[in-house]
Structure 1
Amino acid sequence: MSIDYDRLPFQPEEYLARRDALRALMAERGIDVCVLNSTSNMYYLTGFGSLAYGATSLIVRADGRAIWVMRLTELSNIRALKGKIWVDEGVGVRDGEDYATVLARTIADLAPGKPVVAVEYGNVQQALRGFVKPTDDAVLNASGLVEHLRRVKSPAEIALLRKAGFIAAQSCRDGFAALREGMTDAELAAVVTNSLLANGSHRVAQMPNVCAGPRTARAHVTWCGAPISRGDLINIEPAGSVFDYHTPVYRFYSIGEPSARVRTMFEVCKEALNEGYANVRPGMTSHEAARIFESVFERRGFAEWMVTRPAYSIGGTFPPGWGEDNVMAIRRNHDAVLEEGMCFHISPVLYQDGIGCVGASMPSVLTANGFESLSGDEAVFGVK
């Protein structure tokens, strides 16, 4: 039986619904042409996401017609997906050719006259200078438009995140099983990474964070070849990837009993995680939900070492990271309303210099009854 390795993660109808949702937002705002350049946003709308060499844009017209502008070599991807992807028309930019000229000409051809253009101001902002300017009355900022649509995940998206979560959780278990005194953090990282791939993970947007000892207090520092000693605090944070939908898990271990301080820090983080699971519900604001987590640290006298938001959105993402902070997050002074189907990496963690990073992580989907795990395991501190 042949396998279609170029299949899209979702049915065509789901992508067309996303396209039409974008068109509805464009109509509300009076936008004739939307120029997108976020890889994650283009992937969400079409099913095509590539780490293309050079700039890539997706131009969407109000009536739903769309066209790619990308490096000529990269158009091979679009040709391979013809008949599977709703946007299979593209304009190639030759090496050495001016991207801005080609992009501006394509926009003018697709929407002649004086259209109202909305642009995601990212790596394409400079390329568009001379054709559109942020100060022009007819040019709008499209940043955040597609992100608004990405906040609530469909059942098909949640299924991919759940599969990725189980892969990530297994990689942590495999790392813990292989853990031994004297092995290096690099050797442990190799076990974790191999487990991700062996259990079905696709390309990951970011390598796992694996570290031991007080160095773990340095956010996102990963392996350096240092040996792991008895009593060291060990951090393992991988993300499984299925069709570029990433679900991270953060787990904490030691060989032999950790210090009393580390034990207490974990207990406080686990209490905060449990409080969130017990009390956060759809309809709350992000701020209200954040305060449920934060109040535990304040009550227990650990607020000084909680230096990050309690949770960030997860979904379909690309390098350099697996998070969707620009889509949604649970953080103070943020009035966005929580909805069923939002997916988060809930990670109440404490960073204390000289001790390390300790937390209680759980990738989760928000349901009518509260959070539900996407990894199928428990947040426990593992001791060998």
Structure 2
Amino acid sequence: MIPSSEFTDRVAKLAARLRAEGAGAYVGTRQAALHYLGGVFMPWRGAVVVTRDGHCEIVYWAMDSERVRAEGCAQPVTDFTGSALVEAVAGILSRTGVDRLAVGLDIEHPGAAQVAPGMLTAGEFLAFGRALPQARLVNGVDWIDDLMLIKSPAEIALLRKAAEVAAAGYEAGVAAVAEGVTENHVAGVVEAAIRDAGSSWAWAVTGGTEVGAGGRTAFARGVTQQATDAVIRRGEFVVIDLHSMVGVYLSDLSLPVFLGPPDAEQKALADCWEDVASTMLAALRPGRAVKDCVAEGRAVFARHGLAEHGLPLFGHGLGTCARTRPFLNLASTDTVQEGMVVALGTHLYRPGVGACASNTPPWSPRPARQGSAGSPRRCAPCPERARPFAARLSPRSGRGVRRAKDRHARRWRWKRSRVPRTILSRTRSDGCGPRGGPRLESHPGDAPTG
């Protein structure tokens, strides 16, 4: 939970930035800003207004405003109905005497292909121009994004919880992967698990919980695998990509799964993915330019001869939104800083072969030898035979794959790889989580006949 004093501090820091910019106010319409300064879930249209003198007020759609107040919004809430959002915001700016100064709006993330939820519409921008004829309207996205970039201990605690919820969903999803079940079935298992663990929103625009199998994982540059009634078959990659939210803080978790033994091309794909993921984890160290880290990851794709199939995009920031800095691409102007939190992605899509696509649990860079929890697992292999089977985490360490046979089923054990540790992994001392150096096992007694 974020203490009330932290919301006060956020407003004060933003007001100081406004004074430094010579601006009168910031008007944030993005989900990121509303949740960061309000602290409660606000899915409908609204705006948060912060002035140079430290006044903060939220304008929110009247049909949901009573719930927002009841659930403890950190700021006073003014209702609006119809299309009167701009009119209500202009009234606040006039009342506080800043309507003739520069006003920062949520206009764009330069260089980002995707529009963050809640960015100002063209119609709203024109309406602000009419309502504030003497104001200078500018892009204020970076003013608040610079504050949101570095997470407080309270934020990291919520991000850690969201990651633990996501991990529970992922383990349930892996256990549900079996020959003959549908992508939708696996997605439903994941959804139930994250809800039971405390998630209140599967937030992604790509269909909530994504599950794709076989050819549906392998579209060129194919970052979307919305679950369908397609049947999972032996010898296929399965993408499980899930999105949890705890206390308006998000997680984004995906690790590749394979059903049965891979052929040579599939194994080469997994080997490349592991090499790139490990390289990126090692590269992100405080003081380094994000674009330099990205260049290292791209070079590994090229070394494996898979440059045309690996995406030049390696993840994004996480907090109250996932369309937020740092964007891990060559256009980034950010420098890696301790306290940043990212969903670190490695995406490899080869038509006709499959996909190894991942977003690690939220990850914050630490100086070398100062990481503080376990490492992400490799591609998770599942037994050849149809089942469900019980997936559990074992605290043993090491690296590599071991395969064993018995009269019930083939057993695959995938141990952790030697990559830097992530801060948002589980903290249980019984080894049930990455801090203990886990591996995913299927056990003979867990695999029924069929």
AA matched with 1:266: A
User: Residue by residue, what CA displacement relative to the aligned partner does 1:34-56 show, whole Å, maximum 9, x if unpaired?
Assistant: 2221121121123133112xx31
Establish whether residue 132 from structure 1 lines up as the match of residue 148 from structure 2.
no
CA distance in 1, matches of 2:65, 2:285: 44
| 2:271 equivalent to 1:237 | no
Aligned to 1:21: 13
* Pair 1:212-2:213 in alignment: yes
User: Pick from 72, 97, 108: which aligns with 2:94?
Assistant: 108
- Identical columns (%): 22
2:374, 2:259 → 1: CA distance? 24
Query: Is residue 17–residue 143 contact of structure 2 (8 Å, CA) maintained in 1?
Result: yes
Number of residue pairs the alignment of both structures matches: 362
User: Could you say what secondary structure the match of 2:141 adopts?
Assistant: coil
Q: Determine helix, strand or coil for the equivalent of 1:226.
A: coil
> Which position in structure 2 is the counterpart of 1:3?
none
What corresponds to 1:87 in structure 2?
A: 75
Report which stretch shifted further, 25-34 or 165-174: 165-174
Displacement of 1:185 in angstroms is 1.0
Distance 1:375 1:60, change over 3 A: farther
Specify which of 94, 99, 103 is matched with residue 117 of structure 1.
Answer: 103
Task: Tell me: CA distance 1:168–1:141, structure 2 relative to 1, closer, same or farther (3 Å).
Answer: same
What do residues 98-139 of structure 1 show as CA deviations (whole Å, max 9, x unaligned)? 443333233212326633322223134243131236xx6733
Gaps of at least 5 residues in structure 1 are: 1-8, 318-322
Q: Which residue of 2 aligns with 1:173?
A: 171
Amino acid corresponding to residue 369 of structure 1 in structure 2: A
TM superposition score normalised by structure 2: 0.75
Alignment match, 1:68: 58
1:304 to partner: Cα distance: 0.9
Report what 1:203 is aligned to: 201
CA contact (8 A) 1:266 1:359 kept: no
2:366 corresponds to 1:367: yes
Change (3 A) 1:336 1:175: same
Alignment of 1:33-44 (within 5 A): 33-44=25-36
Give distance in 2, aligned partners of 1:225 and 1:375: 35
Deviations 1:3-40 (A, max 9, x none): xxxxxx30011111111111111011011122221121
Is 1:187 the equivalent of 2:166? Answer: no
Partner of 2:255: 251
Q: Could you say if the C-alpha distance between residues 199 and 289 of structure 1 is closer, same or farther in structure 2, counting changes exceeding 3 Å?
A: same
* Cα shift at 1:245: 1.3
Higher RCO (Cα < 8 Å, 6 or more apart) = 1
CA RMSD of superposed structures (Å): 2.3
CA distance in 1 between counterparts of 2:262 and 2:3 reads: 49
Paired residue secondary structure (1:125)? helix
The answer to whether the 8 Å contact 1:169/1:375 transfers is no
Structure 2: how far apart are the matches of 1:113 and 1:150?
26
Partner residue in 2 for 1:58: 48
> Secondary structure of 1:224's match?
coil
Do 2:286 and 2:338's aligned partners in 1 also have CA atoms closer than 8 Å? yes
SS at 1:257's partner residue? coil
Q: CA deviation at 1:360?
A: 4.9
C-alpha displacement at 1:356, in angstroms?
2.5
Superposed displacement of residue 180, structure 1: 1.8
Q: Which position in structure 2 is the counterpart of 1:382? A: 381
5+ residue gaps, structure 2, are: 108-119, 384-450
Counterpart in 2 of 1:6? none
1:259-304 Cα deviation digits (max 9, x unpaired): 3212111111111121223343100001111122122111121111
CA–CA separation in structure 2 for the residues paired with 1:371 and 1:165: 20
Superposition TM-score, scaled by structure 1 size: 0.87
Give, in angstroms, the shift of residue 187 of structure 1: 0.9
Contact 1:362 1:379 in 2 (8 A): no
How far residue 337 of structure 1 moved from its aligned partner, in angstroms, is 0.8
* 1: CA distance, partners of 2:372 / 2:349: 24
Aligned to 1:5: none
Over 3 Å counting, the alpha-carbon distance change for 1:375 and 1:311 in structure 2 is farther
Q: Which moved more, 1:184-193 or 1:248-257?
A: 248-257
The amino acid that maps onto 2:54 is: G
Distance 1:281 1:274 in 2: 13
1:117 partner amino acid: V
- Counterpart Cα distance in 2 of 1:244 and 1:69: 18
